[in-house]
Amino acid sequence: MRDLADRNDVRVLVEAFYTSAFADPLIGPVFTDVAHLDLDAHLPVICDFWETVLFTAGSYRRNILQVHVALHAQHPLGPEHFDRWLAVWVRTVDGHFHGPVADRAKLQAQRIAGSMRRRLAGRSGSDFETIGRREPAASR
């Protein structure tokens, strides 16, 4: 198996992911019945997103959180949805690609899912939100 190398590989990955995601009993209905996702229109946009994430292409210029906030208002997205999305993504990456960029695709998906889950719950998007600040010794 080879690594992700360009936008064509991103398209292969994204198409394979959506094939699995649409068939999934938990997240499939969110894509098809709630979001009414038009895959032909969505593919170039989400390929822009992943090409930018993986190859710093700069081709994605939208707000991915805003889309999910609107979706969350229609159908609350819980930890189970993000966990399943991530599991399907990782399985799809592992089924098609292997290497440093594929590893980055999985790591970035984990970060994105975690951040989005926290933000939709009204928290900070940061994975480090529980780290507190200690007062300097002089002010104690």
Is 106 among the domain residues?
yes
Residue 2 near residue 99, CB atoms below 8 Å: yes
CB 60, CB 48: distance < 8 Å: yes
Give domain status of residue 81, yes or no.
yes
Q: Which domain holds residue 61?
A: 7-123
* pLDDT given at position 2: 97
At 10-29, the pLDDT tens digits run 999 999 999 999 999 999 99
Number of domains within the chain: 1
Q: Which of 110, 41, 108, 122 is nearest to 77 (CA)?
A: 122
Structure confidence at residue 127 (pLDDT): 56
Does 137 fall in a domain? no
Does residue 36 belong to any structural domain of this protein? yes
Residue 130 in any domain: the answer is: no
Please, what is the average pLDDT of the chain?
88
- 75 in a domain, yes or no? yes
Q: Transcribe 70-112 into DSSP letters.
A: HHHHHS---HHHHHHHHHHHHHHHHHH--SHHHHHHHHHHHHH
Classify residue 133: in a domain, yes or no.
Answer: no
Express each pLDDT in 66-113 by its tens digit: 888 888 888 889 999 999 999 999 999 999 999 999 999 999 999 999
- Say what the pTM is: 0.84
CATH code (residue 14): 1.10.490.10
Q: Name the band, by pLDDT with cuts 50, 70 and 90, for residue 129.
A: very low
